[in-house]
Amino acid sequence: MAGRKTFPNHAAYVGTKFAVHAMSENLREEVASRGVRVVTIAPGAVETELLSHTIDEQIKRDYEVWKKSAGGALDPQVVAEAIAYHQPQNVTIREIVLAATGQEA
């Protein structure tokens, strides 16, 4: 989601996600005529090891509170299943945006 909206105190993180979204869309445009499909995956909160790389305990606590209020984070398997779509070669799903139902942002 960070490639679609901003979050306070996350400028660098959000900036990288916006860049990935733009680069993916541009790449899709460049290779479409050669039959190459490019899809942008924009998941909400997903259970990953990312938070374990954060040393700020307040950020960790705040994230856990937010995650609980959003109904939890997605299981990585759910994201993988969304990515493994089956469409004929002449069909491209350009973007997949998914999040826990309770995640408002």
CA distances for 61 relative to 35, 56, 58, 69, angstroms: 46, 9, 5, 13
Give the up-direction half-sphere exposure of residue 53: CA atoms within 13 A in the CB hemisphere. Answer: 3
Cα–Cα distance, 1 to 6 (Å, whole number): 9
CA distances for 19 relative to 9, 22, 39, 68, 73, angstroms: 18, 5, 14, 28, 23
What residues are annotated to the active site?
A: 13
